[in-house]
Amino acid sequence: MKPYTAGERRQGAIKLSSNENPRGCSPEAAAAIRESIAEVHIYPDGAARALKTALADTHGVTQDQIVLGNGSDEVMTMIAATYLNPGESVLVGEHTFSQYAFAARLFDGVVRHVPMPDLTFDPVRILPMIDRTVRLLFLCTPNNPTGLSISRADLERLLREVPRDVLVVVDHAYIDYQEDPQACDALEYIAQYPNLVALRTFSKAHGLAALRVGYGIAGSERIREIERVRSPFNVSTLGQNAAIASLEASAFVRESSELNRAGKQRMMELFRSLEIEFLPSQANFLTIRVTGEAQEFAREIASRGITVRPLNSFGLPDQIRITIGTPEQIDLLENALRRILT
């Protein structure tokens, strides 16, 4: 088991290392948090009925199609606990979020990495790896740390050709930032494929990372199975109430996406002017390639007051992931990069 490598948090520095919403959360969510403090001595609603109602209305599903987690990370672990037996295989991308492999290893699963030479999830490489030992396939779209999305056509092909006894888990943590009309949304296929689970989170566009609220959507029978391993009271009252308020404040998420779009355009122009190679992200970060070792480059930027994420732990030792910040934060990033590179 390898411990999780978190984005650096340095006193006094701007944190562009963990893909949080630089705006924070909505005023409505902040007010809900303050109001919830009066109930911290009481256990939360273990069934999270009000939040499930709000999510069901938002996504056009029923409450029994939703499972909640202490962040979507916990839902990944619950899925592995429900379906994975020792020695069975889990397919994950070669360059993707590490918690998929963590969940598999936690239950003695065999992690098999799908090659990503062009940093994309390609059905041509995934499908031949599926044999009778495979129980779970994890897909991240937009992918962390590349920001690249899986197309509708590729997801549809995978869902058609993957055996029905293999669970396909699609992590959509960054979908609120997705702009490409050809990119997929797994929720469109939930009714058609009982072996599909779509994951979402309140940690990114909703700005509630510290409260740890994530969820999975699937067929009701699938959710009943996963619910059997869920810990009681796993989502706090503060988290539940803030998430409900954030769903109601939908304009905040739209505005966050618009700010992200403008910031992304500006950062891409900056990288072009500095002749820095970058990936065309559909998320709230951009991944760049550096000359030399990424960790050393990240330390140099951190010394100038900005923390970023070197991607050594993702198997990309010459690349760095940078969260798209506010205009003021991008000003400081530009100043730091120009000092380092020019």
pTM passes above 0.75: yes
**Which SS3 state, helix, strand or coil, does residue 1 take?**
coil
- What are the two backbone dihedrals, phi and then psi, of residue 309, each rounded to the nearest 5 degrees? -110, 105
In this structure, the strands spanning 214-217 and 167-171 are unpaired
In this prediction, residue 201 carries a pLDDT of 98
Residues of the chain with pLDDT under 50: none
In this prediction, residue 292 carries a pLDDT of 86
Residues forming CATH 3.40.640.10 domain(s) in the chain: 27-248
Helix (H) or strand (E) holding 254: helix 250-273
Mutual orientation of helices 237-248 and 49-59 as an angle, nearest 10°? 30
Residues forming CATH 3.90.1150.10 domain(s) in the chain: 14-24+251-341
Peptide bond before residue 22 is cis, with ω within 30 degrees of 0: no
Query: How far apart, in Å, do the first and last CA atoms of the chain sit?
Result: 41
What is the DSSP code string of 211-243? Answer: G--EEEE--HHHHHHHHTTPPTT-S-HHHHHHH
Contact 145, 317 (CB under 8 A): no
What is the DSSP code string of 179-197? Answer: --TTB--GGGGTTT-TTEE
In this structure, the strands spanning 196-201 and 214-217 are antiparallel
Measure Cα distances from 219 to 76, 153, 270 in Å: 16, 22, 45
Q: What type of residue sits at position 116? A: M
**Cβ atoms within 10 Å of 92's Cβ, excluding its own:** 24
In this prediction, residue 224 carries a pLDDT of 97
Q: What type of residue sits at position 96? A: T
Considering the segment(s) 27-248 as one domain, its CATH architecture is: 3-Layer(aba) Sandwich (3.40)
In this prediction, residue 305 carries a pLDDT of 93
> Which positions ≥6 away from 160 have C-beta within 8 Å?
none
- Residue 131: beta bridge partners? none
Contacts 24+ apart (CB under 8 A), 148-151: 148/119, 148/120, 148/279, 148/280, 148/281, 148/282, 149/178, 149/180, 149/183, 149/184, 149/282, 150/120, 150/121, 150/183, 150/184, 151/182, 151/183, 151/184
296: tokens are 């050393």
> Which positions ≥6 away from 303 have C-beta within 8 Å?
none
Q: Class for domain 14-24+251-341, per CATH?
A: alpha beta
**SS3 per residue for 74-117:** HHHHHHHHHHCCCCCEEEEECCCCCHHHHHHHHCCCEEEEECCC
Question: How far is Cα 217 from Cα 60, in angstroms, rounded to an integer?
Answer: 11
Helix (H) or strand (E) holding 208: none
